Each structure stands twice: as structure tokens, then as C-alpha cells.
Amino acid sequence: MKIVEIRNATAPIRSKIANAYIDFSKMTASVVAIVTDVVRDGQPVIGYGFNSNGRYGAKGLLAERFIPRLLEAAPDDYNGEHGLDPHKAWNLMFTNEKPGGHGERSVAIGVLDMAMWDAAAKIAGVPLWRLLADRYRDGEVDSRIFVYAAGGYYQPGKGLEALQDEMRRYLDRGYSVVKMKVGGTPLDDDISRIEAVLDVLGGDGSRLAVDANGRFNLDQAINFGETIAPYGLRWYEEPGDPLDYALQATLADHYSGPMATGENLFSHQDARNLLRHGGMRPDRDILQFDCALSYGLVEYLRTLALLPDHGFGPRNVIPHGGHQMSLNIAAGLGLGGNESYPDVFHPFGGFADGIVVEDSRVGLPDAPGIGFEARAALIALMREVTET
């Protein structure tokens, strides 16, 4: 097969929300379309990819380096035993890139990698979760995937009642586990917010995760942890700077409940440093690496492969991002679940049309590829911005 063309577009995913670190008023996402010469159902197969929220689109990097490297390559250099080979394509993209410094380019390559896997599964005529399960897990698939509703952002004028209403809407839509932002307001206010949400959850802390988005220093992280410990929360996410492994490890000495982090680590080398130095505990803690920000699934497979060296396994992994790519990976490779943003980042986040959340679990679409064509608003947007 041959890559005929790669379209490179940017779409806004702006929102009025804010977490403890940034607001999303100017957030963008890259959208790429890899047009192949393979025909299915009378149409050329097109693989689509985008980056998930929190990092910006990478249009310049895609145009300057990564798309040219693919288009200048001979088809033999990206074709393997199954045809289009995302691993070989990855090596092409990373040619003449120095080690270290894993950010931004990890988004650019992640977007193209997503489109590669979408195209590869479409060419194979199967959903990506099936392709992954057959290729890497002896065919076993998780048919119902744990998802939780990530929300509880800070917004101007949003009080406790609005926060509770938001959480009730998630429950009404089938989620039983929710997540809220913390760290963007004084501790007392956050505690009031947590207690307000717990009221909605019948007081069950195991149904509520909190996310500080890296805002705390060590003392604040410990103080916050000790303050919330009695609630028995689902997890305490990204307390300090994502690269401050020593903070995370010290917090583990003071907070016995589950911790979660990893969404801002964008390579297997960074992930390994968390596992080596971050004090994360395989029996309870959650790893949130997001392939769409971190060089894609090819690199994600490297990250998953090193988990057992540190006592972890795929069930420890619940990716950040709330996109269908991670849902496919969760189902096909047996991860612990997937994030979901019921109210924001649409249509990039969310599941195929008609997929119902029940008891915080979702099923899978049968469409070939990642499933974008089964999500009308998303495929329409991606076709529009890439003019495909």
C-alpha cells in the first residue's frame, strides 16, 4: 500500500473551563488525514488522527518534519507483514530526532500514529480493538470498559449547586464514578466542593477522584492528602509537578489512598522514571499515560512492556484523554479503563453514537478502524477540516 497524501489541519477545542493550572480558552487540536491507495467499499481508505486535550495542536511541527518524512519515504519503508506498519512508520518519523526532550513532537507523532492505526485497522476490515487483541493479546477483548466522568472544572460563577448539578447529570447518564478538579482555590473551598459532590454520591468516596493538575508543592500536596484522607477517595491525581518524582514518592509516605499520575509524561523513558523514582504502588495506584500526547500507540506498547519490571500491569493504566483511541487500547490490551469527559472537548472526546454508559462501563462499536465513522459529529468535523 502507499500513502497518497497527508492532510494537516487544526481545530479549536476551546472551552470556558479551567483547571488549577491553565484555562482552555485558546486550546486547539491537530487533525490529520492519511489518504491511502487502498480501496474498501469503493472508497480510498483514510486514517484519521487527532491529539487529545491539554496540549495544543502541532500543525507546524507536522508540516516541518513529520509529514515530509513519511511522504518522502518509499512504501517499503512503512509496509510490513500486515501491510501498513505503524511501527515502521514510527521509525521513519523519528529519524534524526535526538533523545530526550519529549514534548510537542510527541503530540505530532501521536496524531499521525493514531491515523496509522485507524488506517491499518480499516485496511484489515476490523475494529482497532480487535486488531490489537489479535496481534498482542491472543484475541482476548474486554467487551465492557470502565469509564469515569471527568469534570468538576472551575468556571467563573460556578458555585456548589452548579457543581452538584453537573455531577448529577453524570450519574443520570450512567456514570457511577466521577472526577473533579482541585487545587485552583483555597483548601477550605476545595473541601466544601468535595463534600458537596460526596453528598451527590451518597457519601461514597470510592466514587470520587480529585485532580490537582500538578498545582501543589510538597507541603501543599501532603497537607491536601492528609485533609482528604478520611474521605477514602477513588484516587488523588497529579498532586505536584508531573516531573517531580520525589514529591510523588514522599507523598506516598503520607497518603495511603490510591494516587494517580502520568498524563504529562510523554515517552516510555519518562514513564520509566515515574515507576523507578515516583513511589507509585502497584497494588493501588493508577497510571494515566495518554498515547495521543506521547508518540502514539507504538510508544505506548513500549511503555506497557516495561510495567512488569516494576510490578505493574496494564490494569494499572487508565489513560487520560477520553478519546476512542484509548478506548480501543483499553479493550484490546486489557487496560484498567478510560477517562471520559461527558461535557467538554466534544466531539473529540466521547464514544460512538448509541453507545450507552451503564454502571460506568461502555461497550465498543463494530466499525472498522478506531470507530470515528460511528461518531457522526466527529467524523463530520474531521472530514470538514481536512477536506476529505
- Binding residues (CB under 8 A) for its own copies: these are 21-28, 54-61, 63-65, 96-106, 213-214, 241-246, 264-267, 269-270, 272-273, 276-277, 293
CB atoms within 10 A of CB 243: 15
Minimum distance, C-beta of residue 28 to its own copies, in the bound complex (Å): 8
Respond yes or no: is residue 320 known to be catalytic.
Answer: yes
- Of 320, 317, 348, residue with least CA distance to 264: 320
- Of 347, 372, 378, 374, residue with least CA distance to 114: 372
Phi then psi for 46, rounded to 5 degrees? -120, 125
User: 76: which residues sit within 8 A by CB, 6+ positions away?
Assistant: none
Q: Which is nearer to its own copies, 152 or 214 (CB)?
A: 214
With 0-12 / 13-18 / 19 or more C-beta atoms within 10 angstroms meaning exposed / middle / buried, residue 356 is exposed
Q: Which is nearer to its own copies, 322 or 371 (CB)?
A: 322
Minimum distance, C-beta of residue 327 to its own copies, in the bound complex (Å): 23
Cell digits of residue 146 = 470502565
Cα distance between residue 248 and residue 206, in whole Å: 21
Minimum distance, C-beta of residue 347 to its own copies, in the bound complex (Å): 22
Minimum distance, C-beta of residue 370 to its own copies, in the bound complex (Å): 23
Would you give the end-to-end CA distance of the chain in angstroms?
19
Respond yes or no: is residue 181 known to be catalytic.
Answer: yes
Q: 102, 122, 179, 320: which is the annotated catalytic residue?
A: 320
Place of cell 462501563: 361
Minimum distance, C-beta of residue 95 to its own copies, in the bound complex (Å): 8
- Reduced to 3 states (helix: H, G, I; strand: E, B; else coil), residue 244 is coil
Residue 201: DSSP 8-state: T
Catalytic residue IDs: 181, 320
